[in-house]
Amino acid sequence: MSADFAIIPGARMQSVKQRVKSWIESSRLPEPARFERKCDYEGLDQADPGPQKAIELGLAWLCEAQDHSKSCDGGVARHYDLIDGWSASYPETTGYIAETFLQVGLEPGRQAFVDRGRKMLDWLVSIQFPDGGFQGGVIDQLPRVQVTFNTGQILTGLCEGTRLDSTYREPMTRAADWLANSQDEDGCWRKWPTPFAAPGEKAYETHVALALFRAAKLEPGKGYAEAARRQVGWALRHQRPNGWFDKCCLSRPDAPLTHTLGYALRGLVEAYWFTREAELLEACLRTADGILAAIGLDGRLPGRLDQDWRGVVPWVCLTGSAQIAECLFLLSQMTKTTKYIEKARSANAYVRRTIKMNGSSAVRGGVKGSFPVDGDYGRWQYLNWACKFMIDANRAELQAARDIATAAA
Protein backbone atom coordinates (compact mmCIF):
# COMPACT_ATOMS: atom_id res chain seq x y z
CA MET A 1 0.00 0.00 0.00
CA SER A 2 1.35 3.41 -0.95
CA ALA A 3 2.53 5.67 1.84
CA ASP A 4 1.13 8.57 -0.21
CA PHE A 5 -2.19 8.19 1.56
CA ALA A 6 -0.72 9.42 4.83
CA ILE A 7 0.27 12.73 3.24
CA ILE A 8 -3.25 14.01 2.61
CA PRO A 9 -4.99 15.28 5.80
CA GLY A 10 -7.96 13.08 6.61
CA ALA A 11 -6.77 10.19 4.45
CA ARG A 12 -6.86 7.84 7.44
CA MET A 13 -10.64 8.08 7.22
CA GLN A 14 -10.41 5.74 4.25
CA SER A 15 -10.90 2.04 4.89
CA VAL A 16 -8.21 -0.45 3.89
CA LYS A 17 -10.59 -1.71 1.20
CA GLN A 18 -10.97 1.81 -0.23
CA ARG A 19 -7.20 2.31 -0.26
CA VAL A 20 -6.56 -0.95 -2.07
CA LYS A 21 -9.32 -0.17 -4.59
CA SER A 22 -7.80 3.25 -5.23
CA TRP A 23 -4.32 1.77 -5.70
CA ILE A 24 -5.61 -0.83 -8.20
CA GLU A 25 -7.53 1.83 -10.12
CA SER A 26 -4.47 4.03 -10.23
CA SER A 27 -2.33 1.28 -11.71
CA ARG A 28 -4.76 1.02 -14.64
CA LEU A 29 -4.87 4.73 -15.41
CA PRO A 30 -3.21 6.40 -18.40
CA GLU A 31 0.09 8.08 -17.62
CA PRO A 32 -1.19 11.70 -17.40
CA ALA A 33 -3.76 10.74 -14.75
CA ARG A 34 -1.23 8.66 -12.79
CA PHE A 35 1.27 11.48 -12.91
CA GLU A 36 -1.28 14.07 -11.76
CA ARG A 37 -2.37 11.88 -8.89
CA LYS A 38 1.24 11.29 -7.83
CA CYS A 39 1.98 15.03 -7.85
CA ASP A 40 -1.12 15.82 -5.83
CA TYR A 41 -0.36 13.21 -3.22
CA GLU A 42 3.07 14.72 -2.76
CA GLY A 43 1.29 17.84 -1.52
CA LEU A 44 1.26 21.54 -2.35
CA ASP A 45 4.92 22.17 -2.97
CA GLN A 46 4.77 24.92 -5.60
CA ALA A 47 4.91 28.60 -4.84
CA ASP A 48 1.78 30.74 -4.88
CA PRO A 49 1.68 32.52 -8.27
CA GLY A 50 -0.42 35.35 -6.83
CA PRO A 51 -3.84 36.64 -7.91
CA GLN A 52 -2.97 38.38 -11.18
CA LYS A 53 -0.92 35.51 -12.58
CA ALA A 54 -3.67 33.04 -11.64
CA ILE A 55 -6.27 35.20 -13.39
CA GLU A 56 -4.24 35.38 -16.59
CA LEU A 57 -3.57 31.64 -16.59
CA GLY A 58 -7.23 30.90 -15.93
CA LEU A 59 -8.47 33.17 -18.70
CA ALA A 60 -6.08 31.50 -21.14
CA TRP A 61 -7.31 28.06 -20.07
CA LEU A 62 -10.95 29.03 -20.58
CA CYS A 63 -10.07 30.26 -24.08
CA GLU A 64 -8.55 26.82 -24.71
CA ALA A 65 -11.74 25.21 -23.41
CA GLN A 66 -13.85 27.30 -25.77
CA ASP A 67 -11.60 26.58 -28.73
CA HIS A 68 -11.35 22.83 -28.06
CA SER A 69 -14.96 22.01 -27.21
CA LYS A 70 -15.91 18.73 -28.88
CA SER A 71 -19.13 20.29 -30.13
CA CYS A 72 -17.34 23.22 -31.84
CA ASP A 73 -20.23 25.63 -31.29
CA GLY A 74 -18.86 28.69 -29.51
CA GLY A 75 -19.65 27.31 -26.07
CA VAL A 76 -17.09 26.26 -23.48
CA ALA A 77 -16.12 22.62 -23.00
CA ARG A 78 -17.43 21.37 -19.68
CA HIS A 79 -14.05 19.91 -18.75
CA TYR A 80 -10.74 18.50 -19.76
CA ASP A 81 -10.52 14.89 -18.58
CA LEU A 82 -7.10 13.35 -17.97
CA ILE A 83 -8.51 10.08 -19.32
CA ASP A 84 -10.92 11.15 -22.10
CA GLY A 85 -9.75 14.63 -23.11
CA TRP A 86 -12.00 17.60 -23.91
CA SER A 87 -15.78 17.38 -23.54
CA ALA A 88 -18.61 19.03 -25.46
CA SER A 89 -19.89 22.49 -24.46
CA TYR A 90 -21.83 23.01 -21.25
CA PRO A 91 -24.62 25.61 -21.64
CA GLU A 92 -25.11 26.26 -17.91
CA THR A 93 -21.55 27.23 -17.10
CA THR A 94 -20.92 28.87 -20.47
CA GLY A 95 -23.60 31.33 -19.35
CA TYR A 96 -21.75 32.59 -16.33
CA ILE A 97 -18.33 32.28 -17.94
CA ALA A 98 -19.65 34.77 -20.52
CA GLU A 99 -20.45 37.09 -17.61
CA THR A 100 -16.83 36.97 -16.42
CA PHE A 101 -15.43 37.42 -19.94
CA LEU A 102 -17.62 40.45 -20.61
CA GLN A 103 -16.55 42.03 -17.32
CA VAL A 104 -12.86 41.38 -17.99
CA GLY A 105 -13.37 42.74 -21.50
CA LEU A 106 -14.19 46.19 -20.07
CA GLU A 107 -10.54 46.57 -19.07
CA PRO A 108 -8.22 48.39 -21.50
CA GLY A 109 -6.84 46.14 -24.21
CA ARG A 110 -9.21 43.27 -23.41
CA GLN A 111 -11.69 43.50 -26.32
CA ALA A 112 -10.92 39.88 -27.28
CA PHE A 113 -12.75 38.71 -24.16
CA VAL A 114 -15.85 40.70 -25.15
CA ASP A 115 -15.76 39.02 -28.54
CA ARG A 116 -15.46 35.59 -26.96
CA GLY A 117 -18.21 36.35 -24.44
CA ARG A 118 -20.56 37.44 -27.22
CA LYS A 119 -19.78 34.26 -29.14
CA MET A 120 -20.83 32.28 -26.07
CA LEU A 121 -24.06 34.23 -25.67
CA ASP A 122 -24.93 34.00 -29.35
CA TRP A 123 -24.64 30.23 -29.14
CA LEU A 124 -26.78 30.13 -26.01
CA VAL A 125 -29.50 32.27 -27.61
CA SER A 126 -29.53 29.85 -30.56
CA ILE A 127 -30.36 26.89 -28.27
CA GLN A 128 -32.91 28.63 -26.02
CA PHE A 129 -36.28 26.89 -25.83
CA PRO A 130 -39.14 28.95 -27.33
CA ASP A 131 -40.72 29.66 -23.94
CA GLY A 132 -37.41 30.86 -22.45
CA GLY A 133 -35.77 27.99 -20.60
CA PHE A 134 -32.46 26.26 -21.23
CA GLN A 135 -31.47 22.61 -21.12
CA GLY A 136 -29.58 20.79 -18.41
CA GLY A 137 -26.36 18.86 -18.97
CA VAL A 138 -23.81 19.22 -21.75
CA ILE A 139 -25.14 20.09 -25.19
CA ASP A 140 -25.18 16.49 -26.46
CA GLN A 141 -26.59 14.97 -23.29
CA LEU A 142 -30.05 13.40 -23.10
CA PRO A 143 -32.77 13.95 -22.07
CA ARG A 144 -32.79 17.48 -23.42
CA VAL A 145 -35.22 19.25 -21.11
CA GLN A 146 -35.54 22.72 -19.64
CA VAL A 147 -34.01 23.03 -16.17
CA THR A 148 -34.53 25.78 -13.60
CA PHE A 149 -31.00 25.93 -12.24
CA ASN A 150 -29.24 25.88 -15.60
CA THR A 151 -31.55 28.58 -16.94
CA GLY A 152 -30.70 30.78 -13.96
CA GLN A 153 -26.97 30.46 -14.54
CA ILE A 154 -27.32 31.34 -18.22
CA LEU A 155 -29.51 34.29 -17.26
CA THR A 156 -26.53 35.85 -15.43
CA GLY A 157 -24.62 35.92 -18.72
CA LEU A 158 -27.60 37.32 -20.63
CA CYS A 159 -27.95 40.10 -18.04
CA GLU A 160 -24.30 41.05 -18.48
CA GLY A 161 -24.73 40.89 -22.24
CA THR A 162 -27.77 43.16 -22.11
CA ARG A 163 -25.72 45.84 -20.37
CA LEU A 164 -23.46 45.72 -23.41
CA ASP A 165 -25.94 45.22 -26.25
CA SER A 166 -29.74 45.40 -26.33
CA THR A 167 -29.74 42.40 -28.68
CA TYR A 168 -29.70 40.18 -25.60
CA ARG A 169 -32.60 41.89 -23.80
CA GLU A 170 -35.36 39.81 -25.43
CA PRO A 171 -33.78 36.38 -24.65
CA MET A 172 -32.94 37.69 -21.18
CA THR A 173 -36.56 38.63 -20.45
CA ARG A 174 -37.84 35.35 -21.89
CA ALA A 175 -35.54 33.40 -19.54
CA ALA A 176 -36.48 35.58 -16.56
CA ASP A 177 -40.20 35.31 -17.37
CA TRP A 178 -39.92 31.53 -17.61
CA LEU A 179 -38.26 31.34 -14.20
CA ALA A 180 -40.70 33.70 -12.51
CA ASN A 181 -43.73 31.96 -14.04
CA SER A 182 -42.60 28.43 -13.18
CA GLN A 183 -42.05 29.14 -9.48
CA ASP A 184 -44.32 27.58 -6.86
CA GLU A 185 -46.24 29.87 -4.51
CA ASP A 186 -43.92 29.22 -1.56
CA GLY A 187 -40.90 30.39 -3.57
CA CYS A 188 -39.42 26.99 -4.38
CA TRP A 189 -38.83 25.76 -7.93
CA ARG A 190 -40.06 22.19 -8.33
CA LYS A 191 -41.45 21.94 -11.87
CA TRP A 192 -38.21 21.72 -13.85
CA PRO A 193 -35.52 19.88 -11.86
CA THR A 194 -32.35 18.61 -13.45
CA PRO A 195 -32.38 14.93 -14.45
CA PHE A 196 -28.63 14.81 -13.75
CA ALA A 197 -28.69 15.19 -9.95
CA ALA A 198 -30.52 13.53 -7.08
CA PRO A 199 -34.21 14.55 -6.99
CA GLY A 200 -35.53 16.95 -4.38
CA GLU A 201 -35.78 20.62 -3.47
CA LYS A 202 -32.54 22.62 -3.59
CA ALA A 203 -31.74 25.50 -1.24
CA TYR A 204 -28.75 26.46 -3.40
CA GLU A 205 -31.17 27.78 -6.01
CA THR A 206 -30.60 31.12 -4.31
CA HIS A 207 -28.09 31.30 -7.17
CA VAL A 208 -31.07 31.33 -9.55
CA ALA A 209 -32.59 34.12 -7.44
CA LEU A 210 -29.30 35.99 -7.94
CA ALA A 211 -29.93 36.03 -11.69
CA LEU A 212 -33.49 37.29 -11.23
CA PHE A 213 -32.30 40.12 -8.99
CA ARG A 214 -29.93 41.16 -11.78
CA ALA A 215 -32.67 40.94 -14.38
CA ALA A 216 -34.85 43.10 -12.12
CA LYS A 217 -32.26 45.88 -12.25
CA LEU A 218 -32.46 45.88 -16.04
CA GLU A 219 -36.22 45.29 -16.30
CA PRO A 220 -37.87 46.63 -13.12
CA GLY A 221 -41.56 46.16 -12.48
CA LYS A 222 -41.86 42.70 -14.02
CA GLY A 223 -41.97 40.72 -10.78
CA TYR A 224 -38.46 39.33 -11.06
CA ALA A 225 -37.26 40.77 -7.75
CA GLU A 226 -40.38 39.53 -5.97
CA ALA A 227 -39.87 36.00 -7.32
CA ALA A 228 -36.21 36.08 -6.30
CA ARG A 229 -37.06 37.27 -2.79
CA ARG A 230 -39.68 34.52 -2.40
CA GLN A 231 -37.09 31.88 -3.26
CA VAL A 232 -34.60 33.32 -0.80
CA GLY A 233 -37.28 33.33 1.88
CA TRP A 234 -38.01 29.68 1.14
CA ALA A 235 -34.31 28.79 1.28
CA LEU A 236 -33.85 30.54 4.62
CA ARG A 237 -36.45 28.26 6.14
CA HIS A 238 -33.84 25.54 5.59
CA GLN A 239 -30.96 27.46 7.15
CA ARG A 240 -30.07 26.26 10.63
CA PRO A 241 -29.16 28.64 13.48
CA ASN A 242 -25.45 27.97 12.86
CA GLY A 243 -25.80 28.94 9.18
CA TRP A 244 -25.66 25.43 7.68
CA PHE A 245 -28.29 24.55 5.06
CA ASP A 246 -30.48 21.50 4.68
CA LYS A 247 -31.44 20.52 1.10
CA CYS A 248 -28.22 22.05 -0.22
CA CYS A 249 -26.44 19.41 -2.27
CA LEU A 250 -26.49 17.60 -5.58
CA SER A 251 -26.29 14.19 -3.94
CA ARG A 252 -25.63 14.27 -0.15
CA PRO A 253 -27.86 16.66 1.81
CA ASP A 254 -26.29 15.44 5.08
CA ALA A 255 -22.85 16.63 3.92
CA PRO A 256 -23.18 19.25 1.18
CA LEU A 257 -20.38 20.18 -1.16
CA THR A 258 -18.67 23.47 -0.49
CA HIS A 259 -19.60 24.14 -4.13
CA THR A 260 -23.35 24.10 -3.44
CA LEU A 261 -22.90 25.89 -0.09
CA GLY A 262 -20.98 28.51 -2.07
CA TYR A 263 -23.89 28.86 -4.48
CA ALA A 264 -26.30 29.29 -1.57
CA LEU A 265 -24.16 31.92 0.14
CA ARG A 266 -23.50 33.89 -3.04
CA GLY A 267 -27.23 34.05 -3.72
CA LEU A 268 -27.82 35.41 -0.22
CA VAL A 269 -25.12 38.02 -0.72
CA GLU A 270 -26.84 39.18 -3.92
CA ALA A 271 -30.21 39.26 -2.15
CA TYR A 272 -28.83 41.55 0.53
CA TRP A 273 -27.15 43.76 -2.07
CA PHE A 274 -30.47 44.20 -3.86
CA THR A 275 -32.83 44.59 -0.89
CA ARG A 276 -30.57 45.89 1.92
CA GLU A 277 -32.68 43.91 4.36
CA ALA A 278 -30.82 43.45 7.65
CA GLU A 279 -32.14 39.91 8.12
CA LEU A 280 -30.52 38.84 4.86
CA LEU A 281 -27.13 40.20 5.92
CA GLU A 282 -27.50 38.34 9.22
CA ALA A 283 -28.23 35.15 7.27
CA CYS A 284 -25.11 35.70 5.14
CA LEU A 285 -22.96 36.18 8.21
CA ARG A 286 -24.29 33.06 9.93
CA THR A 287 -23.24 30.90 6.97
CA ALA A 288 -19.95 32.72 6.44
CA ASP A 289 -18.99 32.40 10.11
CA GLY A 290 -19.74 28.68 10.04
CA ILE A 291 -17.62 28.11 6.96
CA LEU A 292 -14.86 30.31 8.35
CA ALA A 293 -14.28 27.86 11.18
CA ALA A 294 -13.76 25.02 8.67
CA ILE A 295 -10.96 26.76 6.75
CA GLY A 296 -7.53 25.69 7.94
CA LEU A 297 -4.61 28.05 8.52
CA ASP A 298 -3.18 26.92 5.17
CA GLY A 299 -6.48 27.67 3.39
CA ARG A 300 -7.53 24.05 3.12
CA LEU A 301 -11.32 23.58 3.18
CA PRO A 302 -12.69 20.01 3.12
CA GLY A 303 -14.92 19.37 0.13
CA ARG A 304 -17.97 18.32 2.16
CA LEU A 305 -19.14 19.74 5.49
CA ASP A 306 -21.59 18.25 7.97
CA GLN A 307 -24.22 20.09 10.02
CA ASP A 308 -21.57 21.12 12.57
CA TRP A 309 -19.29 22.49 9.83
CA ARG A 310 -16.87 19.59 10.19
CA GLY A 311 -15.13 18.19 7.15
CA VAL A 312 -16.19 14.65 6.26
CA VAL A 313 -13.94 13.95 3.26
CA PRO A 314 -10.15 14.07 2.83
CA TRP A 315 -10.25 15.99 -0.45
CA VAL A 316 -10.86 19.65 -1.29
CA CYS A 317 -13.55 20.82 -3.73
CA LEU A 318 -11.53 23.58 -5.37
CA THR A 319 -14.64 25.08 -6.97
CA GLY A 320 -16.28 25.54 -3.59
CA SER A 321 -13.14 26.98 -2.03
CA ALA A 322 -12.98 29.66 -4.73
CA GLN A 323 -16.69 30.48 -4.49
CA ILE A 324 -16.52 30.85 -0.74
CA ALA A 325 -13.39 32.98 -0.92
CA GLU A 326 -15.19 35.39 -3.24
CA CYS A 327 -18.18 35.55 -0.87
CA LEU A 328 -15.90 36.33 2.07
CA PHE A 329 -14.25 39.18 0.18
CA LEU A 330 -17.67 40.57 -0.76
CA LEU A 331 -18.92 40.33 2.81
CA SER A 332 -15.84 42.13 4.05
CA GLN A 333 -16.60 44.91 1.58
CA MET A 334 -20.28 45.03 2.54
CA THR A 335 -19.69 45.08 6.30
CA LYS A 336 -16.69 47.44 6.10
CA THR A 337 -14.67 45.03 8.24
CA THR A 338 -11.54 42.95 7.61
CA LYS A 339 -12.85 39.95 9.56
CA TYR A 340 -13.11 37.64 6.57
CA ILE A 341 -10.13 38.77 4.50
CA GLU A 342 -7.39 36.60 6.01
CA LYS A 343 -9.30 33.34 5.52
CA ALA A 344 -10.44 34.40 2.05
CA ARG A 345 -6.85 35.09 1.05
CA SER A 346 -5.67 31.77 2.44
CA ALA A 347 -8.42 29.84 0.63
CA ASN A 348 -7.52 31.60 -2.63
CA ALA A 349 -3.82 30.90 -2.14
CA TYR A 350 -4.54 27.21 -1.54
CA VAL A 351 -6.42 26.94 -4.83
CA ARG A 352 -3.74 28.92 -6.67
CA ARG A 353 -1.04 26.53 -5.48
CA THR A 354 -2.85 23.67 -7.24
CA ILE A 355 -2.75 25.45 -10.63
CA LYS A 356 -0.15 24.34 -13.14
CA MET A 357 1.88 27.25 -14.46
CA ASN A 358 3.69 25.22 -17.12
CA GLY A 359 3.10 22.21 -19.34
CA SER A 360 0.30 21.33 -21.73
CA SER A 361 -2.21 24.08 -22.53
CA ALA A 362 -4.95 21.53 -21.76
CA VAL A 363 -4.11 21.74 -18.05
CA ARG A 364 -1.98 24.88 -17.62
CA GLY A 365 -4.10 27.45 -15.81
CA GLY A 366 -7.04 25.08 -15.29
CA VAL A 367 -8.57 24.16 -11.95
CA LYS A 368 -9.30 20.58 -11.01
CA GLY A 369 -12.58 19.43 -9.58
CA SER A 370 -10.86 17.98 -6.52
CA PHE A 371 -7.51 18.11 -4.83
CA PRO A 372 -6.15 15.51 -4.94
CA VAL A 373 -7.38 14.88 -8.47
CA ASP A 374 -8.98 11.53 -7.55
CA GLY A 375 -11.39 13.12 -5.07
CA ASP A 376 -15.06 12.44 -5.63
CA TYR A 377 -15.96 15.80 -7.20
CA GLY A 378 -15.01 16.15 -10.87
CA ARG A 379 -12.67 13.20 -10.57
CA TRP A 380 -9.70 13.35 -13.01
CA GLN A 381 -11.15 16.50 -14.54
CA TYR A 382 -10.31 20.18 -14.95
CA LEU A 383 -13.70 21.93 -14.75
CA ASN A 384 -14.61 25.10 -16.60
CA TRP A 385 -16.71 26.48 -13.71
CA ALA A 386 -13.92 25.81 -11.21
CA CYS A 387 -11.69 28.02 -13.35
CA LYS A 388 -14.38 30.72 -13.70
CA PHE A 389 -14.91 30.93 -9.94
CA MET A 390 -11.16 30.97 -9.33
CA ILE A 391 -10.87 34.00 -11.61
CA ASP A 392 -13.79 35.74 -9.89
CA ALA A 393 -12.35 35.07 -6.44
CA ASN A 394 -8.95 36.44 -7.39
CA ARG A 395 -10.46 39.51 -8.99
CA ALA A 396 -12.32 40.04 -5.71
CA GLU A 397 -9.02 39.70 -3.83
CA LEU A 398 -7.39 42.35 -5.98
CA GLN A 399 -10.39 44.64 -5.45
CA ALA A 400 -10.15 44.12 -1.68
CA ALA A 401 -6.47 45.10 -1.79
CA ARG A 402 -7.36 48.27 -3.72
CA ASP A 403 -10.09 49.12 -1.22
CA ILE A 404 -7.70 48.71 1.71
CA ALA A 405 -5.10 50.87 0.00
CA THR A 406 -7.70 53.56 -0.71
CA ALA A 407 -8.92 53.54 2.89
CA ALA A 408 -5.35 53.87 4.17
CA ALA A 409 -4.48 56.76 1.83
Per-residue pLDDT, 18: 65
| Residue type for position 22 | S
Helix (H, G, I), strand (E, B) or coil at 187: coil
Give residue 409's pLDDT band: very low, low, confident or very high (50, 70, 90). confident
Average pLDDT over residues 77-92: 98
Per-residue pLDDT, 3: 26
Closest to 76 (Cα-Cα) out of 116, 133, 128: 116
Per-residue pLDDT, 10: 41
* Distance in angstroms between the alpha carbons of the first and the last residue of the chain: 57
Q: What is the DSSP string of 304-363?
A: BB-TTS-B-SSSEEHHHHHHHHHHHHHHHHHHT--TTHHHHHHHHHHHHTTS-SSS-TTT
Closest to 216 (Cα-Cα) out of 229, 232, 204, 207: 229
What whole-number distance in Å separates Cα of residue 98 and Cα of residue 74?
Answer: 11
* 17 vs 83 pLDDT, higher one: 83
Report DSSP state, residue 204. Answer: G
CA 170 to chain centre: 26
Q: Is 50 left (phi over 0), alpha (psi -120 to 50) or beta?
A: left
Per-residue pLDDT, 116: 98
- Give 125-167 pLDDT, tens digit per residue: 999 999 999 999 999 999 999 999 999 999 999 999 999 999 9
Give residue 8's pLDDT band: very low, low, confident or very high (50, 70, 90). very low
Per-residue pLDDT, 21: 67
| pLDDT surpassing 50 at residue 7 | no
Per-residue pLDDT, 236: 98
CA angle 383, 34, 350 (to 5 degrees): 50
* 57 vs 3 pLDDT, higher one: 57
Residue 378 · residue 366 · CB < 8 Å: no
Strands 79-81 and 381-383: antiparallel
CA 91 to chain centre: 14
| pLDDT surpassing 90 at residue 45 | no
CA 72 to chain centre: 23
Q: Which residues pair with 370 in a beta bridge?
A: 317
Average pLDDT over residues 102-114: 97
Give residue 196's pLDDT band: very low, low, confident or very high (50, 70, 90). confident
Closest to 120 (Cα-Cα) out of 86, 161, 181: 161
| pLDDT surpassing 70 at residue 366 | yes
Residue 268 · residue 280 · CB < 8 Å: yes
- Give 57-69 pLDDT, tens digit per residue: 999 999 999 999 9
Residue 205 · residue 149 · CB < 8 Å: yes
| pLDDT surpassing 90 at residue 6 | no
Residue 320 · residue 284 · CB < 8 Å: no
What whole-number distance in Å separates Cα of residue 394 and Cα of residue 389?
Answer: 9
| pLDDT surpassing 70 at residue 94 | yes
Average pLDDT over residues 309-332: 98
Percent of the chain with pLDDT over 70: 94
What whole-number distance in Å separates Cα of residue 11 and Cα of residue 8?
Answer: 6
Q: How many CB atoms are closer than 10 A to CB 85?
A: 13
Per-residue pLDDT, 15: 60
Average pLDDT over residues 347-372: 97
- Give 272-281 pLDDT, tens digit per residue: 999 999 999 9
Average pLDDT over residues 312-319: 98
Domains of the chain listed by start with CATH number: 49-68+249-409 (1.50.10.10), 90-237 (1.50.10.20)
Mean pLDDT for the chain overall: 94
